[in-house]
Amino acid sequence: MNRFANKSKFSPFYALLQLPGISINTVHIETSSIVINAQIKGKYGVCPVCGKKSHQVHSTYFRSLQDLSVFSKPVGIKLLIKKFKCSNHRCERKIFSQQLSSGFDRYSRRTKRANGQITQMSLESQHGKGPGFPKILDFR
């Protein structure tokens, strides 16, 4: 296993991921996959109900996402998400999660571009072109 951490914005993984608002912490290159540990940039969250900023972290959790394959290896993203306490005592939402950037759909387990690739493959398979696509693209 090859492991390295490079927080430089010029890292090749930033260029490959093209996910704004995400900070890469570590990258694990294994024989069968690439695992990227990352987190959402930002030291505060904005309550989706009242719109007030909060700096008080309640807890954290990891969200696992699948991205497009790189060098014929599936890419997994382990994304650290912070949960915040709403600082507005009158707000009905007491705890809320950081929202993901534009590269993700809410509740999705894949990036938008991975979903787009799957959609494109399914459309092409309806026209008889796609039986081998999942194997070629290493979607598992």
Cα–Cα distance between 6 and 11 in angstroms, integer? 7
Its pTM stands at 0.70
CA atoms of 6 and 13, how far apart (whole Å)? 9
Domain enclosing residue 122, as ranges = 2-137
**How much of the chain is helix, strand and coil, in % rounded to 5?**
20, 40, 45
Pick the closest to residue 36 from 60, 64, 56 (CA basis). 64
**Number of independent structural domains in the chain:** 1
pLDDT in tens, 78-137: 999 999 999 999 999 999 998 876 666 676 777 777 777 777 777 767 666 555 555 555
48: tokens are 């989706």
Tell me: pLDDT of 56 over 50.
Answer: yes
